[in-house]
């Protein structure tokens, strides 16, 4: 695909991205400031663990190279809904993290993808950040509508700095 751009999905699975009809790219000087720039998708295909997009207005390899390192955003309505026990990262960021006994731990600052599972990046109420594996042993309940996640962290995790 001449002038195509390769996009790595946060989830590690680019299949859902292939349905996008438009992309917003941000974080590069030529992309219109903090709001970025929208592009219409001409074509999309999977290549390994990435999605490759042909974008209207990006016709050459040189033009595509200018976009390397840009952050890519897709409208939620253009993505398939998440499956059972799956969530959009944007829905988790900002959620309160609460221990199963009701003690507040902090808030989700981000999600880090890992080879075996993802990790919640938690900004602790008392300061500092910590990572918690997103596995059923530790994450007991995710309530996106209520903006809270109930966890049972491993022994000693709450005491670690």
Domains, in order of start, for the chain: 5-78 (2.40.30), 89-151 (2.30.30.240)
Q: Of 1-10, 36-45, 128-137, which gets the smallest average pLDDT?
A: 1-10
pTM: 0.77
The pLDDT of residue 161: 52
- Residue 62 CA, chain-centre distance (Å), reads 27
The pLDDT of residue 1: 64
How far is 155 from 138, CA to CA, in rounded Å? 10
How far is 151 from 136, CA to CA, in rounded Å? 9
Long-range contacts of 99-105 (CB under 8 A, 24+ apart): 99/150, 99/151, 99/152, 99/153, 99/158, 100/140, 100/150, 100/151, 100/152, 105/151, 105/153, 105/158
Q: Quick one: pLDDT band at residue 28, thresholds 50, 70, 90?
A: confident
Tens of pLDDT, residue by residue over 41-98, are 999 999 988 999 999 999 899 999 989 999 999 998 998 888 888 899 999 999 999 9
How far is 157 from 98, CA to CA, in rounded Å? 13
Evaluate if residue 133 carries a pLDDT over 70.
yes
Tens of pLDDT, residue by residue over 95-109, are 999 999 999 999 999
CA distances from 116 to 11, 49, 93, 122, 153 (A): 12, 15, 21, 19, 18
The pLDDT of residue 91: 94
Evaluate if residue 149 carries a pLDDT over 90.
yes
Cβ neighbours for 6, distance < 8 A, ≥ 6 positions apart: 47, 50, 51, 52
């Amino acid at each position: 695909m001449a002038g195509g751009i390769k996009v790595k999905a946060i989830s590690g699975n680019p299949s859902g991205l292939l349905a996008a009809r438009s992309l917003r790219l941000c974080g590069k000087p030529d992309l219109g400031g903090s709001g970025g720039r929208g592009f219409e998708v001409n074509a999309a295909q999977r290549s390994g663990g990435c999605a490759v997009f042909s974008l209207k207005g990006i016709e050459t390899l040189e033009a595509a190279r200018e976009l390397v390192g840009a952050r890519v955003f897709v409208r939620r309505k253009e993505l398939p809904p998440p499956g059972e026990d799956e969530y959009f990262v944007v829905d988790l960021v900002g959620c309160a993290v609460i221990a199963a006994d009701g003690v507040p731990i902090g808030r989700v600052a981000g999600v880090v993808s890992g080879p075996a599972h993802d990790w919640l990046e938690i900004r602790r109420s008392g300061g500092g950040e910590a990572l918690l594996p997103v596995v059923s042993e530790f994450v007991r309940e995710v309530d996106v509508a209520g903006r809270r996640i109930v966890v049972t962290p491993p022994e000693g995790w709450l005491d670690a700095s």
